[in-house]
Amino acid sequence: MDGNGRWAQRRWLPRAAGHREGIAVLTPLLEAAGRAGVQALTLYAFSTENWKRPPNEVKTLMRLFIETARKKVPELNERGARLRFVGRNEGLPERVLEALREAEELTAHNDRLDVYIALNYGGRAEIVDAARRMMEDGLPPEAVDEEAFARYLYAPEAPEVDLVIRTSGELRVSNFLLWQIAYAEFYVTETLWPDFSAEEFTRALEAFASRSRRRGGA
Ligand code: IPE
Ligand code: MG
Of all ligands present, the nearest one to the C-alpha of 21 is: 1
- Estimate to the nearest angstrom the gap between the alpha carbon of 32 and the chain centroid: 16
Where residue 214 falls among pLDDT bands split at 50, 70, 90? confident
Task: Give the up-direction half-sphere exposure of residue 176: CA atoms within 13 A in the CB hemisphere.
Answer: 23
Cβ count within 10 A of residue 118? 24
CB 195 within 8 A of CB 217: no
Best CA proximity match to 83, nearest among 61, 94, 63, 68: 68
Task: Give the up-direction half-sphere exposure of residue 61: CA atoms within 13 A in the CB hemisphere.
Answer: 23
Burial of 32 (0-12, 13-18, 19+ CB in 10 A): middle
Q: Does the beta carbon of 8 lie inside 6 Å of ligand 1? A: no
What residue type is assigned to position 152 of the chain? Y
Q: Does the beta carbon of 180 lie inside 6 Å of ligand 1? A: no
If you measure from the C-alpha of residue 78 to the centroid of ligand 1, how many angstroms do you get, rounded to a whole number?
29
- Estimate to the nearest angstrom the gap between the alpha carbon of 166 and the chain centroid: 11
Residues annotated as catalytic are 2, 50
CB 76 within 8 A of CB 30: yes
Burial of 84 (0-12, 13-18, 19+ CB in 10 A): buried
- Estimate to the nearest angstrom the gap between the alpha carbon of 93 and the chain centroid: 19
CA distances from 182 to 46, 58, 157, 207, 210 (A): 21, 30, 17, 19, 19
Q: Does the beta carbon of 5 lie inside 6 Å of ligand 1? A: yes
Of all residues in the chain, the percent with pLDDT exceeding 70 is: 100
Q: Considering the entire predicted model, what is its pTM?
A: 0.96
If you measure from the C-alpha of residue 179 to the centroid of ligand 2, how many angstroms do you get, rounded to a whole number?
22
User: Which tens digit of pLDDT belongs to each residue from 126-148?
Assistant: 999 999 999 999 999 999 999 99
pLDDT of 216 reads 87
CA dihedral 8, 65, 157, 82 (to 10 degrees): -100
Ligand 1 atom with minimal separation from the 46 CA: 6
If you measure from the C-alpha of residue 19 to the centroid of ligand 1, how many angstroms do you get, rounded to a whole number?
8
Strand partners, 165: 187
User: Which tens digit of pLDDT belongs to each residue from 155-169?
Assistant: 999 999 999 999 999
User: Which tens digit of pLDDT belongs to each residue from 73-98?
Assistant: 999 999 999 999 999 999 999 999 99
Mean pLDDT of 43-59: 98
Full set of structural domains in the chain with CATH? 4-208 (3.40.1180.10)
What residue type is assigned to position 136 of the chain? E
Q: How far apart are CA 81 and CA 113, in angstroms?
A: 5
